Structure 1
């Protein structure tokens, strides 16, 4: 195997903790066959379900990012979402959400923002570890997180892991 190329998704040591977390917050994640032409290797979203193929090579951290897309999707659309969208605000929110999830689970930031991640992980790792939380304003807007308000719910802690029904943009 080439250096830096991911192993089979099912071999990732973080997989069980990620799956437990995602199921625990109410997202549906199912092991199954994923088409080779999927947007990300070894995973896809279909009708609001995150499918992953444990025998295909893929980055386990990408499961958190794709789950983040489901989590920040308007709940009226979540169960019918055929694929993740390209809305810039939701993309940034999914990045922030995946970071918060990784921190809650104990997944290393380098596993989330891996070498193949969106052109390279260095700027995202530097931003998040220094407290510049890309995407946090959208999570705040939807009532999912706060930067810090004195009640102990300081990001990356989340107030809600799924975007609430009343938090829709106009």
Structure 2
């Protein structure tokens, strides 16, 4: 990651948020063969090497993987297996939806999380869909007790996605 003032401020904003919701996120050396450059999940926490990161937004996405796990799975999760009781596809969709809610909460540009070097080249499609409120993965967050999905008739509860009632899975 380029070490300019904006990236450092963004990194601090993101890591402070992740730590504030109860997921440890701290700088450390990261093995080179991690799934995302400069990021690893070890024993329920995130470690990162700012010099290796593609984007500080990668930390939000990895936090999403941890946040959607059951509490007993969260505390022990270690890369590369980060799906817990979810199938890998469901875990990824949930982490994407969680990441969108987090970036909206933090008022961060979507391109910070959904950048060109990730998401198998589909970052622009994800951003376009979520900007148009064509969400995916939200029904899982609702099932986990984290938020409410807007219903077709406009109802859905007091707190509607992308706002979150809880940042960590409740059930």
TM-score by length of 2: 0.86
> In structure 1, what is the equivalent of residue 18 of structure 2?
22
Measure how far apart 1:47 and its partner are.
0.7
Residue 25 of structure 2: SS of its match in structure 1?
A: strand
What residue is the counterpart of 2:142 in the other structure? 140
Distance in 2 of aligned mates of 1:79 and 1:139: 19
Q: Taking structure 1 as reference, are residues 131 and 138 closer, same or farther at Cα in structure 2, changes over 3 Å only?
A: same
Does residue 111 of structure 1 match 2:143?
A: no
Deviation at 1:33, TM superposition (A): 0.2
Q: Which moves more between the two structures, 11-20 or 22-31?
A: 11-20
Offset of residue 31 of structure 1: 0.6
Q: Distance in 2 between matches of 1:27 and 1:52?
A: 13
- Cα displacement (A) at 1:11: 6.9
1:14 is paired with a residue whose SS is helix
| Matching residue of 1:158 | 164
Give the match's secondary structure for 1:67: helix
Whole-angstrom distance in 2 between the partners of 1:57 and 1:79: 24
Q: Superposed, which structure 2 residues align to 1:6-155 within 5 Å?
A: 6-7=1-2, 12=7, 13-83=9-79, 84-85=82-83, 87-120=88-121, 121-148=123-150, 149=155, 151-155=157-161
What residue ranges of structure 1 are gaps of 5+ in the alignment? 1-5
What RMSD over aligned residues (CA atoms) do the two structures have, in Å?
Answer: 1.9
Q: Which 4+ runs in 1 deviate beyond 3 A? A: 8-11, 148-152
Q: Deviations over 1:76-110 (max 9, x none)?
A: 11111112236211110000001100110111011
Determine helix, strand or coil for the equivalent of 1:134: coil
Superimposed CA distance per residue, residues 45-92 of structure 1 (whole angstroms, 9 cap, x where no aligned partner): 011110011222421111100000000011111111112236211110
SS of the counterpart of 1:51? strand
Aligned residues: 160
- Residues 110-168 of structure 1: per-residue CA shift (max 9 Å, x gap): 1111011212211101110000111101001111111234654111000110001xx2x
